[in-house]
Structure 1
Amino acid sequence: MSNANPLNIVMMGATGAVGSEVVAALRSEPGLGKLALLGRRELAGINQENIEQHCIDILNPESYQALLSGYQCAICTLGIGEPSKVDKQDFLRIDKQAVLDFATHCRQAGIEHFQLLSSVGVDAQSRSFYLRSKGELNEALLALNFKRLSLFQPSMIITPNNRYGFSQALTLALWPALSHIMVGPLRKFRGIAVEKLGTAIARNSQCKTSTGVEVLHWQEFMALDSSTD
């Protein structure tokens, strides 16, 4: 991407495992113009002149809607780390309503490209509360008619550290081996290293040629991660 046309990005969810990797990747992108990080707390170690941080109430759009003008792309990696450990209403407030509010106000502010960290298998008709809620969110985002909507749908996100106890430790140990037997249509269920996913989201934001709706899975993440464009 040419430095003559820098891309201004506003982001929500930068302090999470994936979000922090997205920021790390964006910081090295030559096409980045201004990056605004919106969240309940600041991301440590940020001292670049073109990156600004704003502490906001993610559940109250009035706390950030005035900050959305002048950006071409929005990235949202907001989400509860362990949905099964929280009340369903709390999950909906964060993972669905807060995200939709952010997207709605981004659209109203004239932002043309919205990127969302979602999940593989989301379906508004699913029997799974988690997948159904995420699917309903995707349908609501489609109705906003962004010029470009990028839906990242990873399966297991492999992090270097165990954040959630024994069950995650077991999954982190087994999933890399299981991924090798997932071929053909099953490739989208392969695990993805968190830094590779973050890089894929960052690099996808830099492409200005795509329009419409794109759903990205493991194979697209790997292609973007290996891209040097």
Structure 2
Amino acid sequence: MNYTNENISVVMLGASGAVGTQVVKRFLKSKQPKNLILLGRRSIDTIQADFVQQHEINIFDPNSYAPFVKNTSVAICTLGVGEPSKMSKEEFLKIDKQAVLDFAQICKKNGVRHFELLSSVGISATSSNFFLRSKGELVAELEKLQFARLSIFQPSMILTPTNRYGISQAIVLKVWPKLNLFLHGNWLKYRGIAVEKLGVAIAENIFSNGSGLEILQYEDFNRISERG
């Protein structure tokens, strides 16, 4: 599956988050794709481009956004909880799992062929860790939808230029880049990735060939972003 600017329309959920912002920024810079539809709880005032449409929706009500998914070929979902430890497991599942699955089901129903999801390294439907297991179960459900192409991005620590969540993130942002020097071989996938580079990789991946399930990790992010 290979798309170009002339024949691609993208619908995106989660554009206001740290990673989603970088995905959109890349599209705005490249002036691709042909159409970009952003779905969110509120519009982003700083985005001004002819090929971008924004719709304020209820992420928990698929009927509120189903009409906007029609005639799109690619869906990108960067929706997620920034600090899952700060909310109940029920709330986490409602956002990180059910809302994403609802979005994917609407996309599949409306003919979307390529679905991209921002997930996490280490996910598994059999993991003893609740958060990793939940994300693994989500991917298993997405596989059942049988998209022509399903791209799962699995970063470890996402390195942002600013601290968004307090002292714990401040420590991580300071220490993790130094740990990268010691992560090699099978541990390479745990290297921290700059949020801008991850956003570029998610954006540029839709213009490459691919089919079926693809798991993308640290080395892939670098390869795709450099190619773009």
Matched ranges for 1:74-93 at <5 A: 74-93=75-94
Instruction: Report the counterpart of residue 163 of structure 1 in structure 2.
Output: 164
SS in 2 for 1:14: coil
**Partner amino acid, structure 2, of 1:131:** L
**Partner amino acid, structure 2, of 1:14:** A
Instruction: Report the counterpart of residue 94 of structure 1 in structure 2.
Output: 95
SS in 2 for 1:180: helix
**Partner amino acid, structure 2, of 1:216:** L
Structure 1 stretches of 5 or more lacking a match? none
- In 1, Cα distance between the equivalents of 2:24 and 2:167? 29
Instruction: Flag as ranges the 4+ runs of structure 1 deviating above 4 A.
Output: none
SS in 2 for 1:225: helix
Q: What's the offset of the Cα at 1:27? A: 1.5
Instruction: Report the counterpart of residue 154 of structure 1 in structure 2.
Output: 155
**Partner amino acid, structure 2, of 1:142:** E
Instruction: Report the counterpart of residue 195 of structure 2 in structure 1.
Output: 194
Alpha-carbon contact 1:6-1:31 (below 8 Å) kept: no
- In 1, Cα distance between the equivalents of 2:77 and 2:124? 19
Alpha-carbon contact 1:148-1:210 (below 8 Å) kept: yes
SS in 2 for 1:176: helix
Instruction: Report the counterpart of residue 210 of structure 2 in structure 1.
Output: 210
Q: What's the offset of the Cα at 1:26? A: 1.3
Structure 2 stretches of 5 or more lacking a match? none
The alignment covers a number of residue pairs equal to 226
Q: CA RMSD in A?
A: 1.0
Instruction: Report the counterpart of residue 126 of structure 2 in structure 1.
Output: 125
- In 2, Cα distance between the equivalents of 1:24 and 1:136? 30
User: Would you say 1:220 and 2:220 are equivalent positions?
Assistant: yes
Q: What's the offset of the Cα at 1:30? A: 4.8
**Partner amino acid, structure 1, of 2:225:** D
- In 1, Cα distance between the equivalents of 2:142 and 2:226? 28
Instruction: Report the counterpart of residue 184 of structure 1 in structure 2.
Output: 185
Alpha-carbon contact 2:4-2:207 (below 8 Å) kept: no
Alpha-carbon contact 1:56-1:63 (below 8 Å) kept: yes
Matched ranges for 1:17-166 at <5 A: 17-166=18-167
Q: What's the offset of the Cα at 1:194? A: 0.3
1:177-201 deviation per Cα after TM superposition (whole angstroms, max 9, x unaligned): 0011100111100000000000000
- In 1, Cα distance between the equivalents of 2:212 and 2:31? 25
Identity of aligned residues (%): 50
Alpha-carbon contact 2:10-2:72 (below 8 Å) kept: yes
- In 1, Cα distance between the equivalents of 2:46 and 2:165? 24
